[in-house]
Amino acid sequence: MTDVFNWQIKRNMKYTFESPKPEKQFAAVFDINKCIGCQTCSITCKTTWTTGRGQEYMFWNNVESKPYGGYPLYWDFKLLEKLGGGKWNADVYDGKTIFEKAAEENQNVEGFLPELDDWAYPNMGEDEIYGGEVTRGMHINSLPHPIWFYYLPRMCNHCSHPACVANCPRHAVYKRPEDGIVLVDQSRCQGYRQCVAGCPYKKPMYNSTTFRSEKCVACYPKVEQGHQTQCMEHCIGKIRMQGWISPPDSPKADNPIDYLVHVKKLALPLYPQFGTQPNIYYIPPIHVPTPYLKQMFGPGVDHAIKVYREEVPKDPVLKGLLVLFGSAPEIITKFEVKNEVAMGYDAKGTLAAQTPIKEPEVIRASFDKARDVYRLDTP
């Protein structure tokens, strides 16, 4: 074990080894407030990557309904119980990460191996509400809602301190130096499933036909060409923005991911207390009680919700960036907003997307004198 600094928990922590930082780090932001749970991301990923034998149960990308859903079942509840709880002192995590908890037992990672049946219910708890019954005539006009659920889309987080890398005895799991994408070397993997047990998010999966572990590859052939992953590009709700994240001490204000994560602090990591420093970030849902969200996204929830509710309507730059979500198949590495128009540029500096913040409106009179007819689609 060695000491590494984890900026998401604002302190040093123990990690199995200190590997060189990648040249750049793959990252993405998901706006949960816009997710409609259509599962298009799940299906486009599956039809692209997991149609073979032994992959029938695999959803490298999945969407689960919180608080009751989970794939595999109860993946987060079980690990939270094993860690024994922890608390945040301001923005510093005062508790044990999965690496520090494991060190007490002379292990690399605290985790568990899901039962086979746990993978059989990817839609368990879908659309199930928390907070009681919805009665006839009920009207909710306040935030947060007393009755709620929300969709949580998930993929591999391509963590900066990946537990799957730390726990693999064959060193078959590795982090690419050019982009930080985490992959499994199929020629080295012997199917010990230590990556499955170690990953707190349960995104490596075992193929019982090939006797190898597999996982999300971040569609690296597309990324190498400057294009977004399948799940990002085909998202119906346009909730995803893919890009590259800079270190927190050197953010670039024209980088979409940096702006949302480091500058505005609107997008938050999933279970930062696990200690892996995940690189998929979430804009938390504004209708959900904050105690639950703080357990999932950390102490920055109150600030993020305030920014989303109060600053977005008044800030044309932030609003423009959110409008750019899902606007181009290319990875947008820079953006700017001018004259109420948001523009995104790819790595070559080419304009990839141009979107007005407000769509132009045409108001038509209910009576058309030229045609001597009334229009029924106007008040």
Q: Which residue from 64, 15, 69 is spatially nearest to 42, judged by alpha carbons?
A: 64
Contact between residue 98 and residue 109 where contact means Cβ atoms under 8 Å apart: yes
Q: Look up residue 204 and give its amino acid.
A: P
Same domain (yes/no): 39, 167: yes
Q: Considering all CA atoms of the chain, what is the largest pairwise distance in Å, rounded to the nearest integer?
A: 85
Whether the predicted pLDDT of 372 surpasses 60: yes
- Specify if 275 maps to a domain: yes
Residue 379 has pLDDT above 60, yes or no: no
pLDDT band at 212 (very low <50, low <70, confident <90, very high): very high
Same domain (yes/no): 279, 318: no
How far is Cα 202 from Cα 195, in angstroms, rounded to an integer? 9
**Phi and psi at residue 153, in whole multiples of 5°?**
-75, 135
pLDDT of residue 378: 54
pLDDT the model gives residue 26: 98
Model pTM above 0.85: yes
Assigned domain for 268 exists: yes
* Total residue count of the chain as it appears in this document: 379
The reply to whether 166 and 17 lie within a common domain is yes
pLDDT in tens, 143-157: 999 999 999 999 999
Structure tokens at 138: 């009920």
HEC string of 165-224 equals: HHHCCCCCEEECCCCCCEEECCCCCCCCCHHHHHCCCCCCEEECCCCEEECCCCCHHHHC
pLDDT exceeding 90 applies to what percent of the chain?
Answer: 89
| Host H or E run for residue 164 | helix 163-167
CATH of the domain at 168: 3.30.70.20
Residue 344 and residue 265 share a domain: no
Residue 288, domain member (yes or no): no
Q: Which residue has the higher pLDDT, 340 or 364?
A: 340
What pLDDT band is residue 18 in, cutting at 50, 70 and 90? confident
Is 213 in the same domain as 348?
A: no
102 plus 231 within the same structural domain = yes
pLDDT for 135: 87
Residue 305 in domain:
no
pLDDT value at residue 214: 98
Residue 34 has pLDDT above 60, yes or no: yes
Note the helical H segments in 19-149. 40-49, 75-83, 98-103
User: Is residue 17 domain-shared with residue 86, that is, in the same domain?
Assistant: yes
**pLDDT greater than 90 at residue 137:** no
Same structural domain, 332 and 270: no
Q: How confident is the model at residue 112 (pLDDT cuts 50, 70, 90)?
A: very high
Q: Is residue 307 part of a domain?
A: no
Question: Is 257 part of any domain?
Answer: yes
**Residue span of the structural domain in which 92 resides:** 2-134+141-283
Any domain includes 327: yes
Whether 236 is in a domain gets the answer: yes
Q: Read off the pLDDT of residues 239-275 as tens digits, 9 standing for 90 and up.
A: 999 999 999 999 999 999 999 999 999 999 999 999 9
Strand partners, 65: 151
Cβ neighbour number for residue 264 with a 10 Å cutoff: 21
Give me the number of domains the chain comprises: 2
DSSP string, 313-377: TT-HHHHHHHHTTTS-SB---EEEEETTEEEEE-TTS-EEEEEESS-------SEETTTTEE-SS
Which bin fits 37, alpha (ψ -120 to 50), beta or left (φ > 0)? left
pLDDT tens-place string over residues 295-354? 999 999 999 999 999 999 999 999 999 999 999 999 999 999 999 999 999 999 999 999
